[in-house]
Every structure is written in structure tokens, then in C-alpha cells.
Amino acid sequence: MHSRSTEIATEQAYFDTTAKHRDRKISELGGLVRAAANSGAAAHLHRHAEAARRAIGTADDAVAFGRVDHETGETLYLGRHLIRDDNAEVLVVNWQAPAVAGYFEASHQEPQGLRRRRTFDCTGNTIRDFTEVIFAEIAETVDRHLLADLERGRTGEMRDIVATIQAAQFALIRAPRDQMLVIEGGPGTGKTAVALHRVSWLLFTHAEMLNAADVLIVGPHPTFMRYIRTVLPGLGDAEVELRDIGRLAPTVARGRVEPAEVSRIKGEVRMAGLLSRAVEGRIGVPEPAERLLVDGRFVTVPGAEVAEALDHARAAELPYLGRRQLFRDRLGQIVADRTGGAAPAGGSALANLVERLWPQQTAPAFLRDLLGSRSRLRAAAGTDFTAEELTHLHRRSADRLSQELWSAADLALLDELDHLVNGAGRRYGHVVVDEAQDLSPMQLRAVGRRSANGSFTVVGDIAQSTGAWARDSWDEVTRHLPTPHPVTVTALRYGYRVPRPAYELAARLLPVAAPGVTAPEVVRDGPAEPRTHRVGLTERPGRVVAVALEHAAAGRFVGIVCPPRCRREVEAALAENGVEWHSADRGELGGSINLVSPQEAKGLEFDAVVVVEPAEIVASDERGHRLLYVAFTRTTGHLDVVCVGDPLPLTAPARPTRGDDDPPRGLTAREVRRIAEHIAGQIRGAAPEPHWDELLAEVTQLLRPE
């Protein structure tokens, strides 16, 4: 028997030799990249060389993360990238290669011809230690290397999990492409990581028909996209497109705040019909006779002929602007036939008639005019909307389009209109949509139209479904994503990230939050029990900051999950203590202390989480218990709850009621100030300064009794 130190030294020698070949190849490819960049005719060569250089990794990476020994005597090392020696002999096999599938799939019950599986713990390319499974021996219940990896601190970016992929995860990663695969799982089951590694697997397996630029990944918000952005480049797939759901729409100024009932209406699928009818409604009706000045003389075109040209273009299976051009061409030919000359290429009279009957449109300009016009809304509504709903949709537009602010719900409408006006945009061979359980039907339509073939990976957790579109089943999501392929819903059973004490606290919410959801089986104990800090109202923000600083001083990556009503006081306390912090609402995630809302926390993870006022989190959303479940399960280690009220509210908070004869409760000066600051912040974010007086006047009017 070799001693462990001797075994590590032997493995290190192999790593060092392999690294020399890897680094030589990196250097060669770097030279090729530079040469290609200096050649104006070699853009394709540059792209190829850059992709090949990424595919082999960097000099800072370990050459391998694992090794398998077959019963036949064959030994294979596996890593994130294929590495060969000078004679083209394989030194390290890509983790996606079928030859090393047993590393992920083998068990003591089904060893798949393996004698040993070894996993290396490295700093750079230096082996610190290894763990291994000898398949003839009795199994440990949990992979020790996986648990060791989970104990590592977080950095604000998701890591790849190739060294710790479990058999159930690997089965989903390798699932066939031609389906809509729904990966559901509780917090910490690795569903997002599995979806990202599935993308890398599909690109490797279907390289002849699918490249990285053919894949789109859609996430819930910019912070989440920043969190996952380095995983696929680290696996050699840097050109995959990542967008948050709001970035599918045309680029506009965001920030409009609107009532929940308005956002709800805008998210419903019937809005697609309203927008389609509104677009068709912009096509006009000609006069009985249209008189045009062409080449210095007047030409009269019967209205019936113009109407026929309109009907011909209207019936074409083209987007609005494509049909407009068809109408323009046909009308030009009609004029040419009447003048005996060629169809006029230009001319203000013809252009003016086309613009009057079939006006040029952009999605933002069209939606601004539609929402600003009661008559256009009524005409497009048909029988699908009530008068009250149309009143909710109507709004006063900004004086200029460039000044218009758009709400989150507007973005999906803009995308729908852009599709109607300009036609299909970029489509992808595979689409991944994460946190899909919260998307509105209109947002799901925006995702669905990006798919060229119906190949989807859908990721989420019904128990974490909150907001206006909280769901209780996946059918409510998948029916809005068109696919000719089968829909497969598969659950991940084991929770790896969240420690058992924190999850046991969170799981107490499930009977209220999501009674039909089965909790995952948690596999690790974690470093500490959750702590509860019951404080007075004035003490709350200071205690939040003190607890966060305690964790930060221990080198932990900290997330403060704070409901909107408590946010201003926490921000003030952070500033008063001179704390450097990052805010998820600005797309930031980094440093040691981060402030996130319960909604923004979805999909993120921290070494330590400080949850502020659980009762307020529950009160902030119709599915508030699900939001609190999210907040409690963002930790990989430590959980603290700072609160004035109930640290684990299992019932909906009582809403104060009073009869008409009861005197209203008076507000303290502090409460008045806090409410005023909140309203001012809403107005500041919703409109430019010149409209503030107008908005205040409108608010005052709305507050008066009927």
C-alpha cells in the first residue's frame, strides 16, 4: 500500500506533466488568436482560435478534478476540458465524454465496471487532498467531497459543479434535447446548476447542429444573471446568450410604478389579442377617391382600388411593417398603371397616402399611444375586457416618447408589439428559463417565441412561486410555451446547499405556503443553529447591521433579506456605521454585505443570511409565506432572524379593521415621515421632476372620498 502522501505526490506528478502540455497548447492558441486578429480576412479563424483557447481552460485551473479506475485496469482522468500530449494521446478526458459517465452514475449497487472513483481537492493545479470511493466497500450515505465543497465560502458568483455532480443530477444533464424538460426542486437541490451543465452537455453532444450562440438562458432579474454568468464560460461555452426577462423587450427607460391590479391585467394572455386587434386597427380606410400629385400632375385613384390593395396586403402572412411595404408597392403599381409610367420610387404624395392609411410604427410609440387613448383601448378590447379594466389600463403619457417610463409589466407588451410590427426576431435551438414559476403568460409568450423548435429546459420550484402569478402546478406555466415535444416534469430529491437546521425552520412554513409540495431530503448539518434576535422597533436596524458585520468579520458572504417597508431604515443604519454594501436592485452582488429583497433573493446563496422582520415579508405578498420560505433558504451556513414581531408567522397577519364610527388611529410623527418618504420615493422613481406637482395633485384627488 502506498501512503497517502506518496499517492498525492504521484498524482501531482501526473498533474504537472499534463499542465505543461495544456499550457503549451494555450500559448500556441494565444499566438493564433493574435495572428488572426491582425488579419482582416480571418475573422472566422479568430473566432475558432478563441473558442479553442477557452475550451482548454486556463493556466490557473486544475487539469483534472477526478479519476476513474475500471475493473479492466484502464484509468481515466476527467476535467472540464480535453487535454492531449504532443502525440495526441488523451491525458484528461472532457467530463462530457461517454467514457467517464460512470464517474457520475456509478454506485455500490451499480458500479458500472468501475473499481474506484477518486475526486481531487485542488488549489490551482496543486492537489491538496482527495476523496475516493472503492466500489467493493460499503457506501457512505453522502459524497464526502460534495459536502466539503459545500462548506467552501461563497463569492457572489455561482461555481460549476462538475466535480460534485450527483447521479440524479447527471441523468437530467444528459436528458434528450427534443423535449420540454421541467426541472423542479426545493432550495439547494442544484436545479439551476443542473440546467447550466445541461446546456454545456447539449453543446458537446449536438455540436454538429447546436453552437453556443444558439442557446438562450432567461432569468428573473439582472442580479441573478450576474450570479450565474461565469459558469458556462468556465466550461468553455462563453457565447451562450444570457438575458433577464426584462431584456427580451426593446430597450426603453424603465421605472414606472403601477398598482398590482394593472400589472395583473397586463400579464394576462388576453392582452395578446388586444394588441393584435389594436395593430390591425391602425390600418385606415381610403376616401371614395384619392387624388395624388405625381410628376407635376394630379392623378385620381378610385377608393375601391386602394381598398383592394389594402385588403391584399392585410391578408398576407407578414408582420405589420412587411404588409405595409406590400401595400406601398401595390399602390405604387396602381399609380403607375394610371400614369402609363414606371411605379414611382418615391414622391411625397404617395408616401403621405401610405402613412395616412398604414402608418409607420415602433413598439414603444404604438404602446404609448394605445395606453394614452381611451377610444383606441375600447376599440381593441372587443368583449375581452370590462370598462373598469380599460380604465386601469389607460394612463396619461409623457409629452415626448423619450420621456416615457415603462413598468415591468409593460416590457412583455412591448415585446409582443415588436413581434407584431417587425416580425420574428432571433430564435434559438435551445432555451432555458429559470424561476419560470413566477412569469406571467405574456412573459412566457416572450420566452416561447424565442424558441426555433420547442426545445426547452424550464427550472423552478412551485413552493417558491410568489407575486401576481403565483402558481400551484407546472401546467399553468408550460401551456404558454409552445412545443411539439413531450413535456417531462422531474423533481430533484436531495437538498445539498441549505443546512438542515435552517431548512427545518423553513419547512415549517410549507403546510401553509405550499401544502402539495414535498420537501427535499437535506444531506448536511451546517455549522450552527438559526438565531433569533427579538428587538424593539428603534433597535431593529442597528441589530441587523451588527449581525451582518459579525458575519462579515468572519469572512462570510452575507445577504440581508429585507422587505421593502424596512429597507430605508436598514440602508440608513448601514450608512451610519460606514458599511460598504451592495444592492441587488442595482444588479449588484459582491463584496461581503449585500442587501436584497425577498423577491430578488430567489436563486441566490450566501454563507450567512440575515432575515429582517418575517411578519412584514409575509404581509407584503399574497403568497408571503412562500417569500419567507425563500428568505430562510438562501443560506449555506448561518441564518439570523431580526424582528420586532413573530419570527415564524404561520398565519396571515391580522389586518386592522374599524367601523365607520370608530375613530382612526393617529400616526406618530415618525410614521408620517416614513410614509411620506416612501411615497416620495415612488413618485421620484415613476416620473421626471417636471411632472411631480401634477402627480401630487392627482394623488390628492384620488385620496378624497367618493
Give the C-alpha distances (Å, rounded to integers) separating 451 from 200, 407, 424, 435, 457: 18, 25, 10, 18, 11
Helices (H), 399-440: 408-422
Please tell me the distance from the alpha carbon of residue 154 to that of residue 175, in angstroms, as a whole number. Answer: 29
Does residue 699 come out as left (phi exceeding 0), alpha (psi in the -120 to 50 range) or beta? alpha
Please tell me the distance from the alpha carbon of residue 215 to that of residue 54, in angstroms, as a whole number. Answer: 18
Asked if residues 180 and 147 have their Cβ atoms less than 8 Å apart, the reply is no
Beta strands 75-79 and 66-70 are: antiparallel
Residue 598 φ/ψ, nearest 5 degrees: -60, -35
The separation between CA 231 and the C-alpha centre of its own chain, rounded to angstroms, equals: 14
Please tell me the distance from the alpha carbon of residue 151 to that of residue 354, in angstroms, as a whole number. Answer: 67
- The C-alpha cell at 483 is 412545443
Residue 186 in marked binding region: yes
Please tell me the distance from the alpha carbon of residue 680 to that of residue 692, in angstroms, as a whole number. Answer: 9
Give the C-alpha distances (Å, rounded to integers) separating 578 from 474, 565, 572, 592: 45, 22, 10, 14
Give the C-alpha distances (Å, rounded to integers) separating 663 from 312, 656, 705: 68, 13, 16
| CB environment 656-667: b (16+ within 10 A), e (fewer) | eeeeeeeeeeee
Please tell me the distance from the alpha carbon of residue 551 to that of residue 593, in angstroms, as a whole number. Answer: 9
Asked if residues 65 and 79 have their Cβ atoms less than 8 Å apart, the reply is yes
* HEC readout, 118-165: EEEEEECCEEEEEEEEECCCCCCCCCHHHHHHHCCCCCCCCCCCHHHC
For residue 81, which of 99, 60, 59, 63 has the smallest C-alpha distance? 63
Which residues have a Cβ under 8 Å from the Cβ of 534 and sit 6 or more positions away?
Answer: 643, 644, 647
Q: What is the DSSP letter of 298?
A: E
Please tell me the distance from the alpha carbon of residue 570 to that of residue 540, in angstroms, as a whole number. Answer: 8
Residue 457 in marked binding region: no
Residue 190 in marked binding region: yes
Tell me the three state secondary structure of residue 576.
Answer: helix
The separation between CA 263 and the C-alpha centre of its own chain, rounded to angstroms, equals: 19
Please tell me the distance from the alpha carbon of residue 507 to that of residue 482, in angstroms, as a whole number. Answer: 34
What pairs with residue 533 in β-bridges?
642
For residue 2, which of 142, 141, 136, 132 has the smallest C-alpha distance? 132
Residue 525 φ/ψ, nearest 5 degrees: -90, -30
Asked if residues 495 and 186 have their Cβ atoms less than 8 Å apart, the reply is yes
Residue 185 in marked binding region: yes
Residue 191 in marked binding region: yes
Q: What is the DSSP letter of 399?
A: S
Please tell me the distance from the alpha carbon of residue 86 to that of residue 505, in angstroms, as a whole number. Answer: 56
Asked if residues 231 and 196 have their Cβ atoms less than 8 Å apart, the reply is yes
**How many CB atoms neighbour CB 243 within 10 A?**
15
For residue 582, which of 223, 254, 154 has the smallest C-alpha distance? 223
Q: Is the C-alpha dihedral spanning 50, 54, 55, 59 positive or negative?
A: positive
Residue 192 in marked binding region: yes
What pairs with residue 249 in β-bridges?
none
Q: Which helix (DSSP H) or strand (DSSP E) does residue 393 occupy?
A: helix 387-393
Which residues carry a binding-site annotation? 185-192
Which residues carry a binding-site annotation for ATP? 185-192
